[in-house]
Structures are given as C-alpha cells and as structure tokens.
C-alpha cells in the first residue's frame, strides 16, 4: 500500500471550498484557520504487537483547522494533522518506509439548514497510521504482520454510512462496509423522540490470494448483507445530558448462509465546560482486521474529559470482543481491553504540556498475536489562540 500523504486531503479541501463558493452571492461567508503543533516522546513496550521488544520513540504532529461560516447555520470545518516519528533504535524493528513512520488524519464536517424543517450534516474521517505511534487508539485487534492501516469513514445524516479498512496489498483484512438507511423520527414529548429506521449493511472484500494468513484466500466483492429494522428512543435526561437506546432484529445473508442476530446500542453523552463524559454499550455487525466480511462486535466503553483551572484530564476505558456470527453466543471469540489516561497543563493560552499512558491487552489468547503492550508519552502542544 502506498502511504497516504497530505496531498490526499487536497481534493477534499477543494470540494468543501467549492461548496462554500457555490452559495448565493448575497450570503456572507467567514473563514478562520487555527494552526497547531505537538511534540511527543514516550516508550512502547511491544512495538510490533509480536512481543519482540520495546523501544523509546519521538514524534512531531503539525496540524491545522479551517472553519467556514455562513448564513442559516452553514458551517464547514476541516481539521487535518500529519505525524512523523522515529524509534530510538529503528534497526531492531521492521517499519515500512525506513527508520521513520508517518501518520495522517483528516476530519471534515459540513452542516447547513435549508429550511426550519430541513438540515444536512456530512462527516468524513480518514486516517493512515504506522505502528507504534498511532494504531493503539483505533481499537483494532491486528493480525501478526500487520504494521500499517488506512481507515476511511463517512456519514450522512440522511442515511449513508461507510467504513473502509486497508492494511496493505493482498491483505485478507482489506474490506469495507456500506450502510444505507432510511427512517422516520417523531417527537413524543419535549424530552423524548422515537425513530424507526430500516438499515442495510453491505460487507465488501477487496480480495486476497491464498497465503499464510488466509490459506483458502478471500474472494472479492460482497461477502455478507445485513438487513435490520431498528427502533431508537432518544431522551434528553438533563439540559446537557442525552441518552439513545436502539435495537432490533438483524438477518444476515451471504457467507455461512442465513443467520438471525440481534443488534442493540446504548449511548449516554454529557457535554459541559468543566466536564464531558460518554458511555457506549453496543452489539452489532462490524468489520475487523483479521479477515474481510461481517463479524459480531461487542463494545463497552466509558470516557471523560474534565477541565480544572489550568489542567485538563482525560480518561478512557473499555472492553471489546469480535466473534463469528454463528458462534456469537457459544464462544468468547477474540476479546481484549484498553485504557488510556492523560493530564495536560495549559502553560499559556497557546502552549500545553501533557503526559499520557495507554494499555492494550487481550482477555483471552490469540494465535500468533501478542497484543499486550503499554505506552507512555509526554507531549508539548502549540495551538494558535483566537478570542471569540
């Protein structure tokens, strides 16, 4: 796989600027940009996920955020950052591209209101990462030998969701899921909304020839289709706290024949100036790193961010599980847990000094995999301050 560079983000940026330029000449459009730079240093005790050893590392991550505002709640924001990192002893490990490892991430949002009843929201996220600097936070159980990943994800509120995973040429984990949906929302009370939606999930494989990781190979094209009817209850518990509970029956066709599987998701979010928190519990079909096609994914995760004076602290902890659809209730499958904690001190309005620690570990054993590792790091970040 050819590493994605910053040039890959230029078409997205041009398209979003074109959207802004296409608005009526009488509409006012404002543009703001905010650059930043972070410097990291740390230690990873399992660099390649194979138990071969640990090493210290350093990384620089420049980035920029561009905001475009207009009438009728029109808002486009593009947030991109690139990273270049190096191990202290790169000769001990095999990293594609030489002694340095690169990573890029770009997130774009487009929001607009056409009338009091009609709005649109488009989200695009793309990530390229090479271990050991960026893969840890993606929650992927990698197969031995996978040292890089390209992930692309997009969502449109009217009913299009997609996710793509690419690990390199001819990798059996290269695949995608496309999820069109249609639904109807009805506000029952000022605090409660019910949503009924029909959803399709199309699991696509890019194909792989027989190899050690996939002795029979992986065919290309659509491997599985998921058909589900979802009922969602959204409730505003408090002014800044919302809850969403959804679930329904799911019928999966394709590989392994027809299978019936339930799907469910509970999400509670709280946003505030001093404290923000999020809790997620879900059981649904996902794509994984080991082989293209549909898997059952279970996730339970909690995270929070707190601001106390000049300090900002963050915490994230969760457990996750991947299993085959026929055996989802008979075996544990592949399970692991992850946790992360950070503390940042705002030295000035533009400079921040922070420390962080991350833990990835399996709950059960994996064939040819040693996911267990700890990562610690220090970081220095500069971000231009803009008063509002």
* Sequential pLDDT tens for the chain (388 residues): 333 333 334 444 444 444 444 455 456 788 888 999 999 999 988 877 777 788 898 989 999 999 998 876 789 999 999 988 888 888 887 666 567 888 888 999 988 887 776 777 788 888 877 655 555 455 555 565 666 667 766 655 567 788 888 888 888 889 999 999 988 888 888 889 999 999 999 999 998 888 777 777 888 899 999 999 999 999 999 889 999 999 999 999 988 778 888 999 999 999 888 999 999 999 999 988 778 889 999 999 999 999 999 999 999 999 999 888 888 888 888 888 999 999 999 999 899 999 999 998 888 865 545 678 899 999 999 988 876 5
Task: Yes or no: say if 109 and 123 are a contact pair by the CB < 8 Å rule.
Answer: yes
In a domain, 156, yes or no: yes
Using the 8-state DSSP alphabet, how is residue 19 labeled? H
**How much is the pLDDT for 36?**
92
Task: Yes or no: say if 12 and 88 are a contact pair by the CB < 8 Å rule.
Answer: no
Using alpha carbons, list the distances in angstroms from residue 184 to 158, 201, 213, 246.
10, 19, 43, 14
In a domain, 37, yes or no: yes
In a domain, 338, yes or no: no
Number of domains observed in the structure of the chain:
1
Burial readout 263-272 (b: 16 or more C-beta within 10 A, e: otherwise): bebebbebee
d(CA 148, CA 276): 32
Residue entry with tokens 């990835």:
360
In a domain, 71, yes or no: yes
Strands 100-115 and 55-70: unpaired
DSSP string, 162-183: EEEEE-STT-TT-EEEEEEEEE
In a domain, 182, yes or no: no
DSSP string, 296-359: EEEEEEEEEEEEETTEEEEEEEEEEEEE-STTTTT---EEEEEEEEEEEEESSSSEEEEEEEEE
**How much is the pLDDT for 209?**
86
In a domain, 5, yes or no: yes
d(CA 145, CA 303): 30
Which H or E run includes 30?
strand 29-44
Task: Yes or no: say if 58 and 378 are a contact pair by the CB < 8 Å rule.
Answer: no
d(CA 19, CA 21): 5
DSSP string, 249-290: EEEEEETTS-EEEEEEEEEEEE--SSEEEEEEEEEEEE--SS
In a domain, 77, yes or no: yes
In a domain, 270, yes or no: no
**How much is the pLDDT for 330?**
85
Domain range enclosing 53: 1-168
d(CA 346, CA 380): 10
DSSP H stretches of helix in the chain = 10-21
């Amino acid at each position: 796989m050819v590493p994605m560079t910053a040039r890959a983000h230029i078409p997205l940026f041009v398209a979003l600027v074109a959207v802004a330029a296409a608005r009526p000449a009488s509409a006012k459009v404002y543009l703001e940009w905010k650059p930043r730079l972070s410097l990291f240093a740390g230690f990873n005790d399992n660099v390649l996920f194979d138990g071969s050893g640990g090493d210290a590392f350093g990384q620089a991550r420049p980035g920029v955020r561009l905001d475009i505002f207009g009438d009728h709640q029109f808002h486009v924001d593009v947030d991109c950052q690139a990273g270049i990192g190096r191990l202290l002893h790169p000769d001990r490990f095999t990293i594609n591209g030489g002694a340095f490892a690169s990573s890029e991430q770009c997130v774009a949002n487009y929001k607009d209101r056409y009338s009091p009843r009609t709005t649109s929201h488009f989200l695009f996220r793309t990530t390229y990462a090479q271990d050991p600097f960026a893969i840890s936070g993606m929650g992927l159980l990698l197969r031995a030998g996978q040292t890089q990943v390209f992930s692309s994800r997009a969502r449109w509120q009217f009913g299009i969701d997609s996710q793509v995973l690419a690990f390199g040429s001819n990798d059996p984990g290269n695949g995608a899921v496309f999820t069109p949906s249609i639904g109807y929302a009805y506000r029952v009370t000022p605090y409660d909304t019910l949503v009924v939606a029909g959803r399709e999930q199309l699991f696509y494989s890019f194909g792989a020839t027989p190899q050690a990781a996939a002795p029979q190979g992986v065919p290309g094209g659509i491997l599985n289709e998921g058909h589900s009817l979802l009922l969602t209850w959204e409730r505003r518990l408090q002014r800044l706290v919302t809850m969403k509970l959804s679930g329904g029956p799911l019928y999966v066709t394709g590989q392994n024949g027809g299978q019936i599987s339930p799907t469910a998701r509970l999400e509670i979010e709280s946003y505030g100036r001093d404290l923000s928190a999020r809790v997620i519990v879900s059981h649904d079909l996902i794509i994984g790193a080991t082989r293209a096609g549909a898997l059952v994914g279970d996730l339970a995760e909690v995270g929070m961010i707190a601001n106390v004076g000049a300090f900002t602290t963050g915490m994230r902890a969760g457990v996750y599980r991947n299993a085959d659809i026929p055996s989802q209730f008979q075996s544990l499958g592949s399970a692991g847990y992850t946790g992360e904690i950070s503390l940042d001190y705002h030295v000035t309005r533009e400079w921040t000094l922070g420390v962080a620690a991350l833990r990835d570990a399996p709950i059960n054993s994996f064939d040819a995999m040693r996911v267990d590792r700890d990562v610690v790091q220090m970081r220095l970040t500069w971000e231009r301050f803009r008063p509002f």
